[in-house]
A and B are shown apart, each in its own frame.
Chain A
């Protein structure tokens, strides 16, 4: 027993020496994580997309159309960047990405209005940018309502009705929107809470592959096994301890920054969410072992690992919901640890769901760790025979 611990200690020391000999290891883990955290937290500080620039094309050019535009400009939820008399100009502004919507007040608007001829307003939104276009669309609906409301108000005022009575006639029905667990409609809450752990997972996977694969590439796997007294398990444990410590520190650090300092809400259990994050980190590390075990050539394992884990960001369903995916793609999404972390995050942080809801995902993450054990014989053989191409 004592000899096993001695061997683990020897492998660990050897690994630490290798780690500090090259800046890559710390750069690729701590450096990348710090940079990404700083980037995403400062990038999305604003949080919610409240208003996007839109253009108004005034083909009517009368006092009433100008007053209408003025009223729209005064509305806090509308951001009019361009008022023009020509539609082509507005369209071009849209093609240049300067506005996301165009609101057209038709010619003869005023005349038709007083004649009760029901002039038609046209509005155009771009779908080439999803968030911008949808926010502009919401604004356009507000603007149509304003127009319609303003007109009714004028008519009713002429009939001598007081303003509060008018208000209820113009707006007999309202919707109160409640955004569950995210009352500010702040997109950064779920985006950053998934992307940053996702990047950490990426680091765990790539660095684990690199740490093991480099022994194969540098033809040092025999020295590594020798230090471990020829025992594969000892060799792996000794090698992975320092990385696991780094990943855990980064994971806990990331957790504290997200849910303490940045103040992203956790309505459920902190303990379970943190446990989910730790499981996710281990699952990604295990997936790294699986990759290098199945493909014992450093660059193959890295390329496939990169492809696989980048897909996790799309398949996890935090931007494009999983319910809209095709059945085979849906099935594939369960092979991405990030999907399971994301579900645990939604359950714990946003929905405050009972523990049993997250249990399947926690078990799935555990299954990735077991998969790492399955490739052990193959990886062991590769370390002994070094029978795979170098580059």
Chain B
């Protein structure tokens, strides 16, 4: 069969096989929508918090008032004792407790005193901790300024000087790239790249397993090229939808140039396709790939250093992650799409996403050669007497 025939034939096989169509088309298009629905609210707002205020002072009330005004938390309950508040935390009615000791007011009034606030965070999710702890810290910094000014004035400094002294270093903070700063903006781009990776992997393994069950000739060089061409053509269209259009439709950050994304898709898909074809050589049945490889979705996601920062990944796993196309694809896409990195060296800007782009071409070439080798070995081996 000529390469062209294999190409056409493979496309026909994909669309005639409902199992593959479900993975290639339905899952690839439905999953992004589901994930967008799950992570619809970008921010975790109004995390319920309990208050234990033993000082019951104007100062503590002012602090609480300020804190309650921040969007992150909502003070839902004022408790007489820590026991009561802990009970609420145990029942998951609140996800944080703020505690003012009895001497809070006196310590603040004493020019040499240091007042303490205790903050208890529910650690069952990172995002609770973030909302409760960071917002409380901000209120604390603000309150501290006012106290400092009072104290300097008491020392006999004049008000203006005290102000300047305390405010010597005002600051402005900016969240770069993703203004809403939400969890969805962070995770959805990474998930889109993963969906392409995993649906290709499962689909190719299913097609390979089926061909093996039916004893089709699938290990010729022409078959390798023709089939890879078919997957590439189909997935290029899907990838343009997922990586190019969906971030715009979903209203998540899309700072990258569209051309850069179109360019970047090519080596990513090639690397994933040849990687998957290498894996598919070891799959005997159409369904066994899915059963064996389903948990790789989580492993690839974590190994790539997306949810878990790459700085904290032990060396051996870090090096291993370099062999997985997803690692480069995810970081490259996040850098281009979410942070506006570019592929091409233009006026003043260097090609900051180039390392991922080049690595993907190298991986694509390496997996292509490996696929050729594995196919060659398979071809030489006599067909096994029908594996069950």
Taking Cβ atoms with an 8 Å cutoff, the residues of A that contact B are 21-22, 24, 27-28, 32, 36, 39-40, 42-46, 49, 52-53, 88, 91-92, 94-97, 102, 113, 116, 118-135, 137-138, 140-141, 144-145, 147-148, 151-152, 155, 165, 168-182, 185, 187, 189-191, 195, 198-199, 202-203, 206-207, 210, 213-214, 217-218, 298-300, 302-303, 306-307, 309-311, 313-315, 317-321, 323-326, 328-329, 346-347, 350-354, 357, 389, 391
Contact = CB atoms under 8 A, between A and B. Distances in A.
B171 A298 contact: no
Nearest to A187: B126
Interface of B: 17-19, 22-23, 27, 30-31, 34-35, 37-41, 43-45, 47, 89-92, 95, 108, 111-130, 133-134, 136-138, 140-141, 143-144, 147-148, 151-152, 161, 164-178, 181-183, 185-187, 189, 202, 206, 210, 253, 284-288, 290-292, 294-295, 297-299, 302-303, 306-314, 316-317, 331, 334-335, 338-341, 348-350, 352-353, 355, 388
A325 B40 contact: yes
A121 B151 CA distance: 24
A185 B253 CA distance: 30
Contacts of A138: 134, 137
A323 B132 CA distance: 14
B177 A169 contact: no
A350 to B, nearest CB: 6
Most-contacted residue by chain B among A91, A95, A353 (CB, 10 A): A95
Contact of A128 (B186, B210, B299): B186
B60 to A, nearest CB: 11
A119 B169 contact: yes
Most-contacted residue by chain A among B35, B127, B143, B167 (CB, 10 A): B127
A311 B37 CA distance: 12
Contact of A152 (B37, B134, B165, B181): B165
B177 A173 contact: no
B103 to A, nearest CB: 13
A302 B290 contact: yes
Most-contacted residue by chain A among B39, B111, B340 (CB, 10 A): B39
A387 to B, nearest CB: 16
Contacts of A195: 298
B90 A357 contact: yes
Nearest to A68: B169
Given A40-B302, A45-B314, A120 B171 contact: yes
A177 B121 contact: yes
A88 B120 contact: no
Given A97-B335, A319-B126, A325 B117 contact: no
A134 B130 contact: yes
Contact of B339 (A94, A313, A391): A94
Given A122-B172, A168-B114, A325 B295 contact: no
Given A124-B176, A206-B290, A313-B298, A299 B113 contact: no
23 contacts: A24-B285, A43-B303, A43-B308, A44-B308, A88-B348, A125-B174, A127-B178, A127-B182, A129-B334, A131-B126, A168-B113, A168-B114, A169-B112, A174-B117, A199-B295, A202-B295, A299-B290, A300-B19, A303-B22, A310-B294, A315-B38, A320-B187, A324-B127
Contacts of B338: 128
A126 B341 CA distance: 13
A210 B130 contact: no
B90 A353 contact: yes
A206 B294 contact: yes
A326 to B, nearest CB: 5
A134 B90 contact: no
Given A152-B148, A178-B120, A207-B291, 15 more contacts: A21-B388, A52-B309, A124-B175, A134-B134, A152-B168, A176-B116, A180-B122, A198-B298, A299-B290, A302-B290, A314-B38, A319-B307, A320-B125, A323-B44, A329-B38
Contacts of B35: 314
Contacts of A40: 302
Most-contacted residue by chain B among A43, A113, A137, A155 (CB, 10 A): A43
A173 B123 contact: no
Contacts of A121: 169-172
B146 to A, nearest CB: 10
Contact of A126 (B43, B169, B307, B339): B339
